[in-house]
Amino acid sequence: MHRYSEMLGKWFSFLCAGLVIVLTLSIIYFISTKGLSTFFVNGVSIKEFLFGTLWWPDRPSEQGGPVVGSFPFILGSIIVSFLAVCLSAPLSVIVAVFIAEIAPGWGQRVIQPAIELLAGIPSVVYGYIGLSVLVPFIRNHLGGQGFSIMAGFLVLSVMILPTIISVSTDSLRALPEQWKHAAFALGSTRWQTIRMVLVPAARSGIITGVVLGLARAFGEALAVQMVIGNVRKIPASILDPVTTLTSAITMDMGYTIMGSLWNNALWSMALILLLMSFFFILTIRLVSRRGVIQ
């Protein structure tokens, strides 16, 4: 009886694993076939789609037909995401070091739930706070309309804090205790031990957390959409409105007909997001492998 139960559990596990693989491959196949239709069915060149700046998929342009240039969307996603990571990554590492190495027991019991609370707040709440507080502040004190790149990356930087902090904290806590004791035995101060031993030793985990935060920022739609203005043009400053790939997809998906150029172009942007996810996953694997080798 025990043998049959073990075999049943084994085959059930294989079935679940196979189901996950089939679902993943099906999603990749579906998005790829729909996204590539823009180029192989509608005849749009890859160069025009990736580097074109005009987005007129529903009406003829001066060139004689609909134009689906997604460069403003791609550029907006890159700018907003990378600025958010540049702001939140140093702050997250500092907080992680404080939690893992400096904070007393009661401090950890207070900070950890606060970080988990930040992670549990829905995206629409972040977006609504940014719309109600951040956008008017930028408009009244910094200029512009308030809906801007600045509002977008400030909201995103808060949203990705829990991801980077959690991964960085776990990486610091996973380090052998002997390394810290050896540094103290050599006469290092606490700050020297943190700066020259612990943080460099945990850099693979910290970089993994930063990449995960970047992936979260790149794929966020609702909160960013509420504060960036959703203007389809290349921005000249961080106070200008902009739009992103995810915002364009969510705003336009309800106005398209399945199989049309407009619909296929949106699937092509979804394919770009999928490829970016693959890139982030490969980056994490390479960083983790390099950390293990070292």
CB atoms under 10 Å from CB of 290, counted, come to 12
State the SS3 of the chain: CHHHHHHHHHHHHHHHHHHHHHHHHHHHHHHHHHHHHHHHCCCCCHHHHHHCCCEECCCCCCCCCCEECCHHHHHHHHHHHHHHHHHHHHHHHHHHHHHHHHCCHHHHHHHHHHHHHHHHCCHHHHHHHHHHHHHHHHHHHCCCCCCCHHHHHHHHHHHCHHHHHHHHHHHHHCCCHHHHHHHHHCCCCHHHHHHHHHHHHCHHHHHHHHHHHHHHHHHCCHHHHCCCECCCCCCCCCCCCECCHHHHHHHHHHHCCCCCHHHHHHHHHHHHHHHHHHHHHHHHHHHHHHHHHC
What is the full per-residue pLDDT of the chain (294 aa) written as tens digits?
Answer: 667 777 888 888 889 999 999 999 999 999 999 999 888 888 888 888 998 888 888 776 555 567 888 899 999 999 999 999 999 999 999 999 998 888 887 777 888 888 888 888 888 899 999 999 999 999 998 888 889 999 999 999 999 999 999 999 988 888 888 888 888 888 888 888 888 888 888 888 888 889 888 888 888 878 888 899 888 888 888 999 999 999 889 888 888 888 888 889 999 999 999 998 888 888 887 876 765 434
Residue with tokens 């596990």: 13
Q: How far is CA 174 from CA 19, 67, 88, 157, 167, in A?
A: 33, 52, 22, 26, 11
Contact 139, 229 (CB under 8 A): no
